Structure 1
Amino acid sequence: MSTSVLVTGCHQPLGHSLARLAALLPDVRLWLAGTPAQHCDALCDTIRQDSPECHVHSVPPEDCLSPASMLTVSGAKLVLHAEGPFTQYTYQMAEACLAAGIPYIDAADRRTFMASFTGALHPLALKAGVPLICGASTSSLSSALLDEIAPQFNHIRDVRVTVIPGVRSLRPGSQLATLLSTVGRPMTVLRNGQKIREMSGRHLRKLSVPSVGRCSSMLCDMPDNETLPPRFPDLETLETRLALPGFLAPRAVWLLSHLRQGLQEESMPHPRGGQRPLTAAEQARLRRGQRMMPWLLKRLARGTSHAGGLIVEAHGDDSMGRPLTRVSSLIASAPEAAYLPILPVIALARQCLEDRASLLPGAYTTPGLLPLRSYMAESKLVQVLLEREAQRTQIVPATIGNETPSKRSVAQTQRTPAAV
C-alpha cells in the first residue's frame, strides 16, 4: 500500500530536485505543492515519464495558500518541506504537521531559521509524539563529514567549512540565492575562543578544488555556526565560507557585501578616517549597484564548472598530543551536484517510511543524526534518475542506408540533460 508524501516548494530549484528524487522512493504517492500551478503540472508530467511506478498529483492552487489545506487535500502521512527562503521565524507548515500528527522534514539552510526551531516547537512535539526535523540540507552533510574524521583527533580546535554550490541558479529558494542573501550582513564568527562580529562576504581566500578549478572563498553565515560548537566543545575557531569559481564572481560578491553594508548603515568610510553619512545621490547609486549584482553574477558564472560540494578542514591534536590536520570533502560533478543538498531529506524520508518509530519524537535539527554512509547511499537514486532522464531526452536518429542524419537530429542526439 502506497504512502502519501507531500513535497512543498516544487516551483523552486530545491523542491523541484527533491520531488524528482522522492518519486523513486518505494511505495509512495506523491503530492506536489507550489505556485504558480503550471510549474507543478509540468513537474508532474516529467515525473510520470521518469518514474512511471510513482503516482503523482499536484495540489490545487487554491489549497497551496494554507498548510492545513495542503495536508487535508493530499492526505499526507509525511511532509518534505522545501519552500524557501527559510528566513522567517514562523513555522506554519511545521505547526500544521504538529496539529495533524504528521512527521515533518525540511531542507532549511538558514542559521536564523534553524536556531529557533527546537526552542519554539520541541516541548509541543515531544508531548504529541511527532518528529519535526529541521535542517536536512548542506549542514547535515558537513557535520557528517566532520564526524568521519573526528575519531582521529583527541581534541578538535579549528574547523573550516567551505560550500561550493553546484547550481549557479539565482532563483529564490536555490542554494546560491540563499547563501548570497546573507552577504553584507553581520555574522558571528568563533575565533580563538571568542565570538567576533564580521561581515558576510568578506575575507577572500584563494583555493583550488579538483573538478572545480580555481576558486575564491569568503565568509558566509551558515547553520554550522550554530550546530557545530555544541557538538564539539573544544572548538576554538570556526569559519563557514562560500566558494565560487573564477576570478570575477567572488570579487563581485565582495563588492555586493560593501554595497549592502553601506545601505544598511547609511554611511561610508571617510578619507580622513571614520564614517560619514551617505548623500541621497550616493544611496541611489548604491541601490542601483545592488540591483545589478544578480544580473552581473549570472553572467560571470557562465562558462564555469558546475561541479559542487563541501570541504571540511579540521585542526587539532591526536591522542599523543601531536598536531593533526585532516580534510574531508564531498565533490560531485554536474548534474549530480544539484542533488547533493537534498540527500539528507531523502535519507530521513526513507527511514520514516520504513519505520516511523525510528525517528524520535520532538523538534530537532539533523546534524549528527545520521552517518555519512546513510546519506551517500541515496546517491544511487540520483544515478537512476539521471539515467532515466538521459533515455528520455536522447533522440536516436533513424538512418536509411548511408543517409546522413540531419543537423537537428545530431544536435538532439548529443544533447545531455541539464542540471535542475
Structure 2
Amino acid sequence: MRVLVLGGLGNFGARICKRLALEPGMEVLAGSRSLPADTPFADSPVRLVRLDMDAADFPRQLLDLGVDLLIHCAGPFQQQGYRVAEACCAAGVHYIDIADGRDFVADFPAAMATRAETDGVCLISGASTVPALSSAVVDRLAEQFASIDGISVAIAPGQQAPRGVATMRAVLSYAGKPFPRLRNGAWRTVYGWHDLRAIRFAGLGTRWGAACDIPDLALFAQRYPTVKTIEFRAALELRVQHLVLWGLAGLRRLGVGLPLECYAPRLEVFTRRYLDRFGGDRGGMMVRVSGRRPDGSPGYVTWHLTAPDGNGPEIPCMAAVLLALRMAASGPPASGAFACIGLLELDAFEPEFRRWGITTELEEGDSR
C-alpha cells in the first residue's frame, strides 16, 4: 500500500511516516512544500516528495504519485476547508486526517458524504486523540453503566514534549472565543482558555485545566443521547502559561482584536527556549464517565493515561496509524465520509501504548 502523509515533516506527520514505514508492504511518502537537506528520515525508507495542497493541480499530483491513501497532517485545521479531501475524491484516493477542529470534524460527514460515495472512496476526519481515542475510551467505560449522564475529558501535555507551530496556532485560535458546551442538559456558552479547574492526573499530580473547543463537545452529544454534561479541558504543566492565556483570552472577550495566531512561530520559539526547562517530559490524559450503574446507584469511572519520556506526541498519531494498517490489511470500512468516532476499539490502541511505554489505569467511585 502506498501512503502519502501530507505535512510529513511536521511534528505529527513525521512520526506517522516513521511508524508506518516499519510495516511490511507499506510504501510511505512524506509530502512537503519544501525539500530540506536535513530530514527525520535518515535511517528510514520514507521518501520525501514536494507537494503543495493549495496548488490548482493537486489532484493531478496525487494521480501521478499513484497513492492509495493520503493522511492529512498539515494543520491547523480550524481555518481549513475540505480542499484536500475533495482532491482525494477526484483522484480516487482514500483519506484520513488528524484534525481536532470542532467544526471541521463535526461537519465533515455531511459536507463530504455524497461526493465520497459517488467517487467510491473512504474519507475519515478526526483520527487523533480527540475524538478517535477519547470516544474509544468512553465507549469502553460506558459498558459499566445502565445510562451515562456526564463525560469529562482532559489532556495534559508534557512541557518538554515537542509541539510544533501548527499546534501552537490551534491553541491560540480559540483563546477567548465563545463556543457552546452541554452542561446540566442545556447548551451554555463558554470561552476558550477560561473556566479553569483543578484536575488530578495519575502520575502527574494536579494541574489546572482550561476549557477548549474540540469535536467531542458536538459529537458526544449525538452519540450518547442521555448525557447531560460534556466537558473538555487542556491542562498545561506551567501555571504561568495558563495565566497568560487566561489574560489574553480575557482581552479578546472584551473586544480587543488580538491576532494571536500570527504570533505562534515566535511564541513557540520563546516557549522552547525559555520555559520548557521548567517543566518535564511526562504527559497524561483523563477521561471520566459518570452515570447510573445497572443496580441504579450513581457512580463514575475515570481512565488515566500516562506517557513518559516525551512520548505524548505519539498519541495523536495512533488512530491514523491503526486505520491505515486496517485499510492495508482488509480495505477501507466503507465508501463515504465519517468522523472518527466509534471506528476504533480501545483494545486496538494497547499495542501502540506498549510500544511507547504508555500506561493506563482505572479509578472508580460513587457519585454524590
| TM-score normalised to structure 2 length | 0.87
Out of 112, 135, 139, the residue aligned to residue 143 of structure 1 is 135
8 Å contact from structure 1 (residues 4, 78) kept in 2 = yes
Query: Secondary structure at the residue paired with 1:98?
Result: helix
- Does the aligned pair in 1 maintain the 2:164–2:268 contact within 8 Å? no
Equivalent in the alignment of 1:274: none
User: In the aligned structure 2, how far is the partner of 1:153 from the partner of 1:179?
Assistant: 34
Deviation at 1:42, TM superposition (A): 2.8
Q: 1:328 aligns with which of 291, 299, 303?
A: 303
- Cα offset, 1:301, TM superposition: 3.9
> Match of 1:240, SS?
strand
Task: Supply the distance in 1 between the matched residues of 2:302 and 2:202 (Cα, whole angstroms).
Answer: 14
**Matching of residue 58 in structure 1 with residue 48 in structure 2:** yes
Among residues 337, 342, 347, which one is paired with 1:368 in the alignment?
342
Q: Match of 2:277, SS?
A: coil
Report the Cα distance in structure 1 between the residues aligned to 2:20 and 2:166, rounded to whole angstroms. Answer: 18
2:144 aligned partner:
152
What CA distance in whole angstroms lies between the structure 2 residues aligned with 1:169 and 1:35? 21
Q: CA deviation at 1:107?
A: 0.6
Give the match for residue 360 of structure 2. none
Structure 2 gaps of 5+ residues are: 358-368
In structure 2, what is the Cα distance between the partners aligned to 1:371 and 1:244? 28
Identify the residue that residue 343 of structure 1 maps to in structure 2. Answer: 318
- Note the alpha carbon deviations across 1:66-115, whole angstroms, 9 max, x for none: 53244134211111111101123521111111112211111111112112
The residue number in structure 2 matching 1:120 is: 111
Partner of 2:125: 134
Please state whether the residue corresponding to 2:198 is helix, strand or coil.
Answer: strand
Would the aligned equivalents of 1:214 and 1:246 in 2 still touch at CA under 8 Å? no
CA deviations on 1:170-224 (whole Å, 9 max, x unpaired) are: 53323x5423322211111101111011111112112332333441101111111
Matched residue, 1:280: none
Match of 2:33 among 5, 16, 35: 35
1:62 to 1:360, Cα distance in 2 relative to 1, 3 A:
closer
User: Is 1:190 aligned with 2:165?
Assistant: no
* 2-structure distance, mates of 1:254, 1:177: 16
Map of 1:171 onto structure 2 = 164
Choose the corresponding residue for 2:226, options 234, 239, 252.
Answer: 234
For these two proteins, the number of residue pairs brought into alignment is 350
**Letter of the structure 2 residue corresponding to residue 201 of structure 1:** W
More helix by share: 1
Deviation at 1:231, TM superposition (A): 0.9
Q: Could you tell me whether the CA contact under 8 Å between 1:131 and 1:363 is conserved in 2?
A: yes
SS of residue paired to 1:188? strand
Secondary structure of the residue that 1:245 maps to in structure 2? coil
Matched, 1:92 2:90: no
C-alpha distance in 2 between matches for 1:198 and 1:178:
17
1:63, 1:187 → 2: CA distance? 29
User: Distance between the aligned counterparts of 2:253 and 2:163, measured in 1?
Assistant: 21
Q: Which has the higher contact order (CA 8 A, sep 6+)?
A: 2
Q: 8 Å contact 1:109–1:222 — kept in the other structure?
A: yes
1:3-402 to 2 correspondences below 5 Å:
3-38=1-36, 41-43=37-39, 46-49=40-43, 51=44, 54=45, 56-60=46-50, 65=55, 66-139=57-130, 140-166=132-158, 168-169=161-162, 171-174=164-167, 177-262=169-254, 265-266=255-256, 291=263, 297-298=271-272, 299-356=274-331, 358-379=332-353, 382=356
Whether the aligned pair in 1 keeps the contact of 2:32 and 2:50 (CA below 8 Å) is no
Give 3-state SS (helix, strand or coil) of 1:37's partner.
coil
Using the alignment, how far apart are the partners of 2:53 and 2:188 within structure 1?
A: 45
**Distance between the aligned counterparts of 1:377 and 1:10, measured in 2?**
23
Decide whether the 8 Å contact of 2:161 with 2:312 is kept in 1. no
Indicate conservation of the 8 Å contact 2:198/2:209, yes or no: yes
Runs ≥4 residues deviating over 6 A: none
Structure 2 counterpart SS, 1:33: strand
Question: For 2:80 and 2:53, how far apart are their aligned partners in 1?
Answer: 22
In 2: Cα distance, 1:117 partner to 1:33 partner:
23
| Residues in 2 aligned to 1:296 and 1:223: alpha-carbon distance in whole angstroms | 29
Q: Is there any run of 5+ residues in structure 1 with no aligned partner, and where?
A: 267-282, 384-420
CA RMSD of superposed structures (Å) = 2.4
Deviations 1:313-360 (A, max 9, x none): 11111112111111012221123212011100000000001111x511
Larger radius of gyration: 1
1:236 is displaced (CA, Å) by 0.4
* Amino acid in structure 2 at the alignment position of 1:10: G
Instruction: Please report how far the alpha carbon of residue 296 of structure 1 lies from its aligned counterpart in structure 2 after TM superposition.
Output: 6.2
Per the alignment, do residues 115 and 62 of structure 1 end up closer, same or farther by CA in structure 2, a change over 3 Å counting?
A: closer
Structure 2: how far apart are the matches of 1:159 and 1:260? 28
CA distance in 2, matches of 1:233, 1:368: 15
TM-score, normalised relative to structure 1: 0.77
